[in-house]
Amino acid sequence: MPSYEDILPIVTDLIKPLAAPGRSVREDTDLVSDLEFDSLKVMNLIEQVEDRFDVSVPLNILPEIRTVRDFTVQLQAILGEN
């Protein structure tokens, strides 16, 4: 299973192009309030993550995800199940 430290830079790189211009992406960055993510951007990110890691991200985990850290932790758990 990939470590959190292995997954974080990949997730960050996938998020950066989707973020509002001029916004930095860190572990504690809130996807909605800091990066102005809407449902379309969230789905785009999920699609990219699924393609990159060859996993299926269950949509029922989305309410638990606020920050880049939250997303990375959830992804690590998904990767651990496969």
Residues paired with residue 67 on neighbouring β-strands, in sequence order: 30
Q: In this predicted structure, what is the pLDDT of residue 1?
A: 79
- The pTM of this model reads 0.92
Q: What is the pLDDT of residue 66?
A: 96
pLDDT at 82 over 80: no
Architecture of domain 4-81: Orthogonal Bundle (1.10)
Provide the H-helix boundaries in 1-82. 4-15, 39-53, 68-81
Domain-wise residue ranges, the chain: 4-81
pLDDT tens digit string along 3-62?
999 999 999 999 999 998 899 999 999 999 999 999 999 999 999 999 999 999 999 999
Specify whether the CB–CB gap between 18 and 41 falls below 8 A.
Answer: yes
